[in-house]
Amino acid sequence: MAYLIAMTADPPKAGLEGVAAAVKVAGERGLPPVHLWHPAHCGEIDIRIRKDGVWFHEGTPIGREALVRLFSTVLRLDPDGYHLVTPVEKMKITVEDAPFIAVRVDQVGESLRFTTNVGDVVDAGPDNIIRVETDAVTGEPRPYLHVRRGLEALIARPVFYELAEMATSRQTPDGEVFGIVSNGAWFPIAPAGTVLA
């Protein structure tokens, strides 16, 4: 409710400036409740998240890391694509692959704790799964981590190599596979016999 009160105190600004102003209302109080916001106004904004995690606005990289982190907190995946959402605006953006990159992993007790390029810290487990796809062209693995509400992070290659070093084999109905465990959940990452690192 505090978000809505703060947002209606002044007339909303449009476009990128409006999104930045709306997100700043959240301050240090954690992630804004974008899943509860359903603004009537929708449009598009020329923001693209490249597959390497770099954010662009009107063809130019957004150089301010703090601004990218700010925008990442109001990113939402809807059935028709990715949007930046505030209480008064919903603007569609382009995401080439996953919107985030997992750039670090740490073993913390029974958890694998990942850090993304936008500052999210996520423990893999039943609610935040790790999945691996195979690139149709190169045959290389493309591992992903669920971050929040359908948003995923591509696991960076060096981080995936760390996971490969932790992997153990297990017999499954599809044969023997390598996998990792976090918070009691087991995640297959490659068929046994695969060179992972």
Q: What is the pLDDT of residues 153-174, one digit of tens each?
A: 999 999 999 999 999 988 888 7
Structure tokens at 66: 């703090």
Same domain for 90 and 134, yes or no, is no
Res. 193 pLDDT band, cuts 50 70 90: low
Kindly list the distances between the CA atom of residue 163 and the CA atoms of 19, 123, 135, 155, 185, in Å, as whole numbers in the listed order. 36, 14, 18, 10, 14
Q: Can you give the CATH number for the domain in which 55 is found?
A: 3.10.540.10
Domain boundary among 58, 74, 95: 95
What pTM did the predictor assign?
A: 0.83
- Look at residue 26 in the predicted model and tell me its pLDDT: 44
Residue 196 lies in a domain: no
- Look at residue 178 in the predicted model and tell me its pLDDT: 92
Contact criterion met (CB below 8 Å) for 135 and 51: no
| HSE, side-chain direction, 13 A CA sphere, residue 140 | 8
Domain boundary among 77, 95, 113: 95
Domain that holds residue 120: 100-191
- Look at residue 140 in the predicted model and tell me its pLDDT: 86
State the alpha helices, DSSP H only, in the chain.
Answer: 2-8, 15-24, 65-72, 157-166
Number of domains in the chain: 2
